[in-house]
Amino acid sequence: MLIMQTSSSFVNDKLIKVIADEINDTTRKIIKIEIEKAQEVVASEDRCESLPTEDTLQVVSLNSLAID
């Protein structure tokens, strides 16, 4: 019975290690993807001007009506 418990404990320990390794690998991949996304956003913000907000568009529209 002692051999079976030792064997079972060994298998459980190995299974836990495999699961933990997979969780760590997946977490690293997710973090890498999120970092890349954030870097792309920062790079795109640096490349182009900000788009006008809804308020700015309304003011421009009102000004053009007043000029006409």
63 occurs within a structural domain: no
Whether residue 68 lies inside any domain: the answer is no
Is pTM beyond 0.95 here? no
Residue 54 within any structural domain of the chain:
no
Residue 62 lies in a domain: no
**26 lies in a domain?**
yes
* In-domain check, residue 22: yes
How many distinct structural domains can be found in the chain? Answer: 1
Using only C-alpha atoms, what is the Rg of the chain? Answer: 29
pLDDT tens for residues 4-42? 566 788 889 999 999 999 999 999 999 999 998 888 887
Per-residue pLDDT band at 49 (split at 50, 70, 90): low
Alpha helices (H) in 1-68, listed in sequence order:
2-47, 54-67
Residue 33 in any domain: the answer is: yes
Range of the domain at 35: 2-48
